[in-house]
Amino acid sequence: MLMPAPDPRVLARRGELTRRLRAFLAPEQVVEDQTALRAYETDGLTAYRQRPLLVVLPETTAQVSSILALCTELGVKVVPRGAGTSLSGGALPLADGIVLGLGKFNRILDVDFDNHCVTVQSGVTNLAITEAVRERGFYYAPDPSSQIACTIGGNVAENAGGVHCLKYGMTSNNLLGLEVVLMDGSVLRVGGKYMDPEGYDLLGVLAGSEGLLGVVTEVTVRILPQPQSARALLMGFSSNEDAGNCVAQIIGAGIIPAGIEMMDQLAIQAAEAYCRAGYPADCHALLIVELDGPRAEVDELSESVRELGMRCNATSIRVSATDEERLRIWAGRKAAFPAMGALSPDYYCMDGTIPRGKLAEVFTRMSELSRQYGLRVANVFHAGDGNLHPLILFDSNRPGDLEKAEAFGADILRLCVQVGGVLSGEHGIGVEKRDLMPEFFSSTDLEQQQRVKCAFDPGGLLNPGKVFPTLHRCAELGRLHVHHGQLPFPHLPRF
């Protein structure tokens, strides 16, 4: 993985940078000790490590603004970091850049039940939002599996999803307002506690911008009333095709479940071995379908889904009668990642999205790739929204295994693009999939995205080396080629 070469002039100014940061930050807010810096050298994608120049831990928006303005003045790169749970290396540090940690932005600022929204600082965890509103019967819908640790600021950066996206949307669909600091130190407030804010949809473009456009310091999200009831169905199938077909049948029948998860045979075995979830032992694929809403409606829909399951040759069907049973059905799925630890010393979690209809094709080709690379792959799949999470099993102590796993992963993502899908559903591009971007985008597409980056960060100092395989200078991207007087009026019908 090639990162931008460290700038020796910046490395030489480490002392000056530290001194100027200490002028407005408390001693413990500037981390320069090499041992302490090691804690920040990687994120959830642990294959990559880099010790940062410094780590700064601001407490206020004004401090973030001063830090970014100073870094702009001195030409220092900045890598924002929430909880460091990124699975695509979004918070991977740079040798000549500071890490801007938002861990001290941990306050819930405003819980507004009347207007159904909550405002928090960006370092508050995803789950803490739901916990703050639970007793009044509300929750925050996006629930990435790292929700106990990941921050809402990081969720905005990656446009995080979870298992309920089909019905309740991703982060960007639940976002009302942001306070963002740009690289020049200017503080923007975008949106607020109301719908349809003025101007271009900056909330939309900031969500999923992977920390390349601005540093989010404050987030307002809408909260939803908890549904009156929820039921889960656990259905076993003797083939991935049957399970995939059942998903299409459910959605084709006009049912939008709160979540549809699919697990393949290896994932089922792992979950069973890890936490005895009580999953049927003999099946090749498993579907968990959750329905929520008013009670009678949930009962009616559960029955429809059960009938569809039988029609799709389900080998076993279980419907939760109580909430405990529902949570038990989910337990195995939620433990799927840690369960891999029982099967293999290491696993590499991939993330891509495909049109649901291509599921069987993708699974077949993935098995071929698995044989070709000699590595096992387990699959958990957000089947409702087409988001695949293949888990490639490998052993980092075996020379060449990590590289093989990475090459296998890249082939899976190419496969996703070939069947009409995309490179990432919810983990982001980061450094991990950066060099695969040309598989999906033309150079024109990527240049237009980079021009938008230039509008926010003309110096290219915020999180460079992520998302885009090639860095361009903004001046070069901005140049316009006009063919004065050489073009005829296009031959078009006129009226």
Partner 1 sequence: MTEIVKPDSEEQLVDLVHWALAEKKRLAIEGQASNRGFAYESSAEVTVSMLGLHGIIDYQPEELVMTARAGTSRAVIDAALAEHRQHLAFEPPAFGPLDGRDARSGSIGGVFMANLSGPRRFTAGAARDHLLGVRGVSGRGEAWKSGGRVIKNVTGYDLSKLMAGSWGTLSALTELTFKVLPAPPLSASLLLPVAKPRSAFALMSRLARNASQPSGLAFLSAPVAAKLEAPVVASRGENVCVARVEGTATAVRERVADLRRVLRASQLLKILDDDESRQLWSGIRDIRGLGACPVIIRITLPPFRARELVAEWLGPGSSNPWFADAAGGCLWMGVEDSAAVAVVGRLRRQLAGTANVVVFRAPDRVKRAIGVFPVQPAPLASLTRRIKQSFDPEHILNAGRLAPL
Minimum separation from the CB atom of position 368 to partner 1 (A): 23
Q: Which residues of 386-415 are buried (b: 16+ CB within 10 A; e: fewer)?
A: bbbbbbbbbeeeeeebbebbbebbbbbbeb
Radius of gyration of the chain (CA): 24
Beta carbon of residue 275, minimum distance to partner 1 (angstroms, whole number): 26
Taking the least distance from each CB to partner 1, the nearer of 323 and 445 is 445
Q: Which is nearer to partner 1, 138 or 373 (CB)?
A: 138
Nearest approach in angstroms of CB 48 to partner 1 is 19
**Distance between CA atoms of residues 270 and 274, nearest Å:** 6
**Phi first, then psi: what are they for 446, rounded to 5°?**
-70, -35
Q: For strands 175-181 and 229-237, give the pairing.
A: unpaired
Cβ neighbours for 410, distance < 8 A, ≥ 6 positions apart: 436
Kindly tell me which of 159 and 370 has the beta carbon lying closer to partner 1: 159
To partner 1, the closest distance from the beta carbon of 299 in angstroms equals 8
At 320, the amino acid letter reads S
CB of 326 vs partner 1, minimal distance in Å: 18
Rounded to an integer, what distance in angstroms lies between the CA atom of residue 259 and that of residue 23?
51
Q: Nearer to partner 1 by C-beta: 168 or 394?
A: 168
CB of 27 to partner 1, least distance (A): 31
Beta bridge partners of 377: 392
Measured from the CB atom, the residue of 228 and 364 that comes closer to partner 1 is: 228
Is residue 181 a contact partner of residue 64, using CB atoms and an 8 Å limit?
Answer: yes
Q: Which residue pairs from 298-301 have beta carbons closer than 8 angstroms and sit at least 24 positions apart in sequence?
A: 298/229, 298/230, 298/231, 299/231, 301/255, 301/257
Is residue 117 a contact partner of residue 193, using CB atoms and an 8 Å limit?
yes
Residue closer to partner 1, measured from CB, 53 or 78: 78
Nearest approach in angstroms of CB 199 to partner 1 is 6
CB closer to partner 1, 96 vs 351: 351
Residues 6+ apart with CB under 8 A from 137: 225, 226
As measured in angstroms, the least distance from the Cβ of 133 to partner 1 is 11
Instruction: Say how far apart CA 67 and CA 104 lie, in whole Å.
Output: 15
CA neighbor of 100 nearest in space, from 58, 42, 69, 137: 58
Nearest-angstrom CA–CA distance, 180 and 191: 11
E strand spans, 361-420: 377-382, 387-394
Judged by CB, which is closer to partner 1: 59, or 297? 297
